[in-house]
Amino acid sequence: MNKTSYEVLEFAKEINEFEFNKVDVLIAPSFVSLESLRKNLKDEIKLAGQNVSEFDDGAFTGEISTTMLKDIGVEDVIIGHSERREKFSESDEIINAKVKKALADDLSVILCLGESLEVKEEGKEIDFVRDELLKSLDGVDDLENLTIAYEPIWAIGTGKTCSSEDAENMCKEIRNIINEKYGEISQQIRILYGGSVKPSNAGEILSKENIDGVLVGGASLKASDFIEIIKAGENL
């Protein structure tokens, strides 16, 4: 939960001044800011919901439906963010239902995956991510509108860092897992890395073969920092 309505518009003004043509830029603000940003951001910048309900419209107080997102021109949604999994107890089964609902209603999905520090220290991170990925995609056959975001929970706000090599290795494993089940589409799926991405490390992360983009957290709150990260992608 960040930025008031005024702060969001000030952010948009700064971002609109920056020209880019090599990368895709997508912003996922709070739900209450989606419509105002849609009206005030230049067309090259897409918007995403931070979450979506697995249910249709109806008696689900506090939820946001796919219909509501699409009604204001939103075409993408983040599902399974680590904060949703940890703080709101969203299970793989709930994530799976949300993925199916969003894809069925023609939203593009950014599916987040990642292991905890405990899992990492036990050396079980690959098995954990494999299990999380396959459960989240259970019953999903068409991955055309799917993006995967690997966000190691242990590297977010903990002072611990995931090296670009470790990030690349896990993203490669994710691509291999997708290839085992879905075949050649694994080479077309975008795999993002999210874990304390900032201007100083974005270029190195984005240079890796199996990392197609970044899911930016705190560094995206300051427009100038976000622009520097976009520049890192433009300069590759």
Q: Where are the domains of the chain?
A: 17-162+172-190
pLDDT tops 90 at residue 78 = yes
194 annotated binding-site participant: no
Catalytic residues: 81, 151
196 annotated binding-site participant: yes
Average pLDDT value for residue range 197-203: 95
Confidence grade of residue 51 (pLDDT, cut at 50, 70, 90): very high
Average pLDDT value for residue range 135-147: 97
203 annotated binding-site participant: no
pLDDT tops 90 at residue 205 = yes
For the chain, the DSSP string reads ----HHHHHHHHHHHHT----SS-EEE---GGGHHHHHHHS-TTEEEEES---SS-SSS-TT---HHHHHHTT--EEEES-HHHHHHS---HHHHHHHHHHHHHTT-EEEEEE---HHHHHTT-HHHHHHHHHHHHTTT----TTEEEEE--GGGSSSS----HHHHHHHHHHHHHHHHHHHGGGGGTSEEEE-SS--HHHHHHHHTSTT--EE---GGGSSHHHHHHHHHHHHT-
Tell me what pLDDT residue 112 has: 98
pLDDT tops 80 at residue 15 = yes
Tens-place pLDDT, residues 121-134? 999 999 999 999 99
Which CATH code is given to the segment(s) 17-162+172-190? 3.20.20.70
